[in-house]
Amino acid sequence: MAYEVTATRRRPQQFEDLAGQEFVAETLKNSIKTKQFAHAYLFAGPRGCGKTSTARILAKSLNCQAGGDPTCTPCGQCESCKSITNSSSMDVIEIDGASNTSVNDVRQIKDEVMFPPTSCRYKIYIIDEVHMLSTSAFNALLKTIEEPPAHVIFIFATTELQKVPATIKSRCQQYNFRLVASDRLKELLSDACREMNIQADDEALYWIAKESGGSVRDCYTLFDQVAAFSDGHITYDKIRDKLGLLGVDRLNSIFENCVSGNAEVVMNELDSFLQSGISIEQLISNSTEYLRSLLLIKNGIKKESLLGQSPERYSGAVLNGWNTIQTERGISIFLQLYRDIRYSLSPRYELELAFSRLCWLSQYVSPSEVKAAIDKAQALLCGGAQGAVGSQSASGLQSAALSQGAMGSQSVGGSQGAMGSQGAGASQGAALSQGAIGSQGAVASQGAGGSQSAALSQGAGGSQGAALSQGAGSSQGAVASQDTRVAFGTFSSPAPEKTISSEKTDATNNWTQVENTSGNAPNGMHMFSALMNAKQNNESKGENQPPFHNGGAVPPEQTAAENISYDDLENPDDGNYAPVDDDWSATGYPENDEYLADSYAEDEENQQNDLPSSEDIHASSENFVNSKGESINLKTIYDQLILKLSKENAMTGSALMQTASWKLNRNCISTEIDSDFQFNKIKENLQLINGIISDICGETVTFEIKKKEIKTEQSNVEVPAQIKMLCSIFKGTIVGGKQ
């Protein structure tokens, strides 16, 4: 007997033999039992999944002569069943739609359907690849398949359902065939091996089943090819060597070197693979499948039918070397590589570039990981709000105070700092006044390692302003190299119309005075590159040269080392320093150190009185009494809640510290807050807050938060040029000021 390929020899002959098409088989069997079969069927699905085989089984079931009526189990022995199996029946006509596409072929069918079957109950037309028919041929079929003679049944099969006109679909019963699972294909291959007396390893059969892509016919075809060179024993090693596959062992080797970053070894291994005859497309495909299997293992999936190999065969070094996100990134690299090589100058270069990227994949950080790190940093920075972080004081010489410090909330860098530490004769003092930039005043003055104090005043007319000064040199105090004064609120004297910025032009203490009346940043002040104006870029004309070195501070070798006292600010010895305006000159205030110290102390005391502490706000005489008669003070509830949230949700705890005084109304605690950000933060975690408070109180207590309405008052105070300058630099707006 002539050799018959496995796909033909093992073609299903009964509905029960259909692999993976249980729904189609059961539906057709039930319709035959109830004699409610249709006059036209449309079988759609991928290649090799049993469409034509199902059509033949249905034809045999309807025409089987073993019984008087159609049967679900055709005998396969009668003349009708044999002729249909051999494709020789006169009443079951199989037509190839790809080669009979014209309207003339359909007209021939229309003429033939008028004649009754010769030996069978039904004349059945099986048209394969029906989507290949022309539009005119489909139109010619419409009337025939809608109302055919009672003895005619049409069965259409197609792999591209979308190409079949809707008018044809609406006249047919449609059945969708599915791809077959790898486990089921492996069972079919095992049966074929037993039938042919061939030994086969499970790993090899799993590979064949996986490579077939769910098609039974492709599976049997590949099986015949592998069996031909396996000499009666199919192993994965033989498949790998004969078909030019990489194999898990080789992939483990090259990917282990990728994890360790050995780019040189990786490139050499890659070259050896290509020299051995493995194609670039095959290498990309195998590498992608390898990384996919690693990803499945990382997610706890160890099913061999999905992996194609035993999980133990994959390298532990690769599994532990890359996390899930990095493995996903590796898969995306190869998927994109497969798309790129079609239009690449050199596919090999693209492949080598992909493996080079894998060598530093261990350093890849995903955007989600960056966001998580930023969130942790934000929680860490914002967790210590409302309290003095650090304070050092030694006879008023070195003092620094950080209070109400919440990054992005109330103050940055320091508010309510030590104001009394800076007097005449005090050294190394730093006076911080009135909070963050852009809220109430400007920031700081710094004495630099010398005996002289930084030149500080209280703005124009004692208005709680501050002066920005930067000391330069190892022995000098702050010499007002950039003197930008900020005055805010009510003035006892008119605000200055102009500011003086002093610029150092050389290393010999030669200073020039530049007048600024525009409200923009003076020449020489460091700005963002996007905000640089034309005046600052006018270096070619030699005007207004900035005193910074490469956009930063003046290097030490260019700074002056001479001592300049406070009295020298008005009349420097070199005679090149022009006197500042009257509001800032030494004659504007009494030249009395005691007066200055008293002024700073008084200003500090006023600020402390203006900003009540957190403890004063949340102190309460109200007590909550639960159903058990237990009483707990509202302040105690607040303290315990903050303590609990500082461990579980620091940002929410920080936001609760900024709330107004708490009020108790039966089983409800209410308060309000100014900040939109903190209000939203509390609202997001309201369920958590309610749970903690209820645990503290011993019964259900709700917490309500409201947004405080801030009434803005119109002020007719003229905004100084310095404030306009700061707003111009930082693109900010004035949001408040103390009147």
Helix (H) or strand (E) holding 94: strand 92-96
Who's near 677: CB < 8 A, 6+ residues apart? Answer: 408, 409, 655
DSSP state of 403: -
Measured distance CA(231)–CA(167) in Å, rounded = 53
pLDDT above 50 (res 526): no
Measured distance CA(502)–CA(738) in Å, rounded = 29
- pLDDT at position 736 is 58
Place of tokens 């005084």: 661
Who's near 604: CB < 8 A, 6+ residues apart? Answer: 416, 418, 419, 420
Measured distance CA(97)–CA(103) in Å, rounded = 12
Residue 399, helix vs strand vs coil? coil
DSSP state of 453: P
Beta-strand pair 233-234/391-392: unpaired
User: How confident is the model over 641-681, as pLDDT tens digits?
Assistant: 888 888 788 888 888 888 888 888 888 988 988 888 888 88
Measured distance CA(584)–CA(135) in Å, rounded = 94
User: How confident is the model over 329-359, as pLDDT tens digits?
Assistant: 999 999 999 999 988 899 999 999 999 999 9
pTM, full prediction? 0.49
Q: Say if residue 717 is exposed, middle or buried (CB neighbours under 10 Å; 0-12, 13-18, 19+).
A: middle
Which has the higher per-residue pLDDT, 447 or 343?
343
Candidates 735, 348, 424; CA nearest to 600 is 424
> Which of 64-73, 76-85, 270-279, 482-491 has the weakest average pLDDT?
482-491
- pLDDT at position 599 is 54
Residue 98, helix vs strand vs coil? coil
Token pair belonging to 558:
């260019």
- pLDDT at position 307 is 82
Which has the higher per-residue pLDDT, 587 or 197?
197
User: How confident is the model over 399-428, as pLDDT tens digits?
Assistant: 333 333 333 333 333 333 333 333 333 333
pLDDT above 80 (res 297): yes
Instruction: Compute and round to an integer the Cα radius of gyration of the chain.
Output: 44
Q: Say if residue 676 is exposed, middle or buried (CB neighbours under 10 Å; 0-12, 13-18, 19+).
A: exposed
Measured distance CA(473)–CA(479) in Å, rounded = 9
Q: How many residues does the chain have?
A: 739
Token pair belonging to 47:
């290649």
Residue 732, helix vs strand vs coil? coil
Measured distance CA(388)–CA(403) in Å, rounded = 5
User: What mean pLDDT comes out for the span 42-58?
Assistant: 93
Measured distance CA(143)–CA(34) in Å, rounded = 27
- pLDDT at position 517 is 43
Q: With bands split at pLDDT 50, 70 and 90, how would you rate the model's confidence at 451?
A: very low
Place of tokens 């008669």: 629
Average pLDDT, the chain: 73
Residue spans of alpha helices (H) in 165-323: 166-169, 182-196, 202-211, 216-229, 236-243, 247-260, 263-275, 280-298, 304-307, 316-321
String of b and e for 287-321 (b: at least 16 CB within 10 Å)? Answer: bbbbbbbbbbbeeeeeebebbbbeeebbbeebbeb
Check if the beta carbon of residue 416 is closer than 8 Å to that of residue 401: yes
